[in-house]
Amino acid sequence: MFAQVRTRLGSTLVKLPSCLGSRATRGITPVFCKHQHRSFSSESAGVRVLYDGLCPICVTEIRFLEFLQRNESGKVHFIDIALPDYDGAKYHNVTYEMAMEVMHVIDENDQIHRGIPAFAVMYSAVGLGWLGRFMMWSPVRPLMDKSYAIFAKNRLKWTGRGEECMTGRCEKKIQ
């Protein structure tokens, strides 16, 4: 019985379009291969998360989110604002200084989200929509906003950097 199922399944799968570009499937846009037929650049596609790559707390979270979306590359782009070549003009004029103040995320519709709404968009994009919805839930949202405001105000101090990091570029202080 299992041999029959395997044979039928195998013969059905052979008829499906392949992403490998065989002669039989050229000219067909396979449903399963949409990632190969995008007409936009990967830089502008998907959700763009602007994060401070010198913040160990931020980097830990970004690495976790990258892990969650490892099988869906191109869905979320993580942009390190601490890199010398960061250009805010590419990201709706979100300057380094603006991005250092509070988390910024640009969604698939090119809308900018700041603070807790940015986290909600980011989490939804990597499959943690339940967490984003919880953070935005009206009984929880005021607590989230206040907690994040405290974190955003103090994160430089907590990560060994000072207020000079708010303008220009900074390096982590060696203690």
Tell me, yes or no, whether 107 and 142 share the same domain: yes
Residue 1 has pLDDT above 90, yes or no: no
Residues 68 and 13 occupy one common structural domain: no
**Residue-by-residue DSSP string for 6-40:** HHHHHHHHHHS--TT--GGGTT---GGGGGGG--S
Same domain, 29 and 107: no
Burial letters 27-49, b for 16+ CB under 10 A, else e: eeeeeeeeeeeeeeeeeeebbbb
Predicted pLDDT of residue 19: 35
Q: Is the pTM of this model over 0.95?
A: no
- pLDDT for 145 equals 97
Task: Find the domain containing 55 and state its range.
Answer: 47-166
Q: Is 121 part of a structural domain of the chain? A: yes
Q: What's the whole-number mean pLDDT along residues 67-73?
A: 84
Q: Is residue 175 part of a domain?
A: no
117 and 62 in a single domain? The answer is yes
Judge whether 149 lies within some domain. Answer: yes
The string of pLDDT tens digits covering residues 104-152 is 999 999 999 999 999 999 999 999 999 999 999 999 999 999 999 999 9
- In this structure, the answer to whether residues 67 and 132 fall within a common structural domain is yes
The stretch 59-75 carries a mean pLDDT of 88
